[in-house]
Amino acid sequence: MDVLLLIAVASAGIALAFILPGWRVKRVRARPLPAAWRATLLRTMPIYQQMSGDLQHQLHGLIQQFLHEKKFVGCAGLEITDEMRVAIAGQACLLLLNRPTRVYPGLHAVLVYPSAFMVPRKQVDEAGVVTEERQDLLGESWGDGRVILSWDHVQRGAADWTDGQNVVLHEFAHQLDSESGSNNGAPYLGSEDNYRNWSAVLSRDFASLQADALYRQHSVMDHYGATSPAEFFAVATETFFEKPWQLSEQHGALYQELFKFYRVDPRAWLPQPEPSPWAAGGYGQWQ
């Protein structure tokens, strides 16, 4: 009888180990978002006010879970405030709307610097000679569960939601990319057909951006995306959310792949821009 009792207690303990985390997350996500946090979203994410009530509700729950699970660390003397935490969480969770996904399960900490930060880099030339240098970075996504951001550039990204430059969207796109097992520009897509279509479209548009960068031609996407497939996905994500009309016009197939992945249409949140006769590419093109 004692043995059976021990087995029953152990089984109950195992069951609780699986049930309790999910129960806690549901309770956390059900908390109402404080009014001060809503005000922060209105200031730092201009599209928030244009989102449907359902999407806002989803975003609130995702933010609550993000802030419950992730640690924020101020670096170089920076003191973390609620405004920083909510602004970063809000933009990061924008990438998770309408998607049955966990909230960045591999991420444990967000490190925030006051401004651009220096990191050591090793460069190896064709002769195998290794040189060390330090680079200024605005953000970085690491495979050990950390994202590093410059608060100054988080604010700049929030101030202009139409320039295609957003360090939070960029670095958290890298986090999604890594969930497939490697940073290669192909996040977890669910099926072989999805990967086949994704590869065909993104490979073609990546090559196109590389040509634009080589010949210094205008592109709706930042030329930094020509660096690698991983950077192309991150830059395309920034452009999808901040220049959706231009991206859909100039890279329709790419826009559709991103739309299928992110399951939102940012064109609903931003007005259609006026054609500009001075934009590169000819009269009537959008900048």
DSSP string, 121-170: EEEE-TT--EEEEEEEESEEE-TTSEEEEEHHHHHHHHH-TTSS--HHHH
CATH class, range 32-123+131-268 = alpha beta
**Cα 29 from Cα 103, distance rounded (Å):** 11
What pLDDT does residue 37 have?
A: 97
Lookup: tokens for 246: 């231009």
What pLDDT does residue 100 have?
A: 85
Residue written as token pair 């220096």: 118
pLDDT at 222 over 90: yes
Sign of CA dihedral 150, 155, 156, 161: positive
What pLDDT does residue 275 have?
A: 76
What pLDDT does residue 17 have?
A: 36
Please name the residues in contact with 13: beta carbons below 8 A apart, sequence gap of 6 or more. Answer: none
What pLDDT does residue 245 have?
A: 98
Taking residues 57-82, what's their average pLDDT?
97
What pLDDT does residue 25 have?
A: 80
More confident residue, 196 or 1: 196
More confident residue, 269 or 23: 269
Taking residues 177-187, what's their average pLDDT?
92
Please state the pTM of the whole predicted model. Answer: 0.84
pLDDT at 60 over 60: yes
Strand segments, DSSP code E, in the chain are 71-74, 109-113, 117-124, 130-137, 139-141, 146-150
More confident residue, 55 or 32: 55
More confident residue, 26 or 19: 26
Residues 220/242, Cβ–Cβ less than 8 Å = no
What pLDDT does residue 219 have?
A: 96
**Average pLDDT of the residues of the chain:** 85
What pLDDT does residue 137 have?
A: 61
CA-based nearest residue to 84, from 75, 173, 107: 75
pLDDT at 6 over 90: no
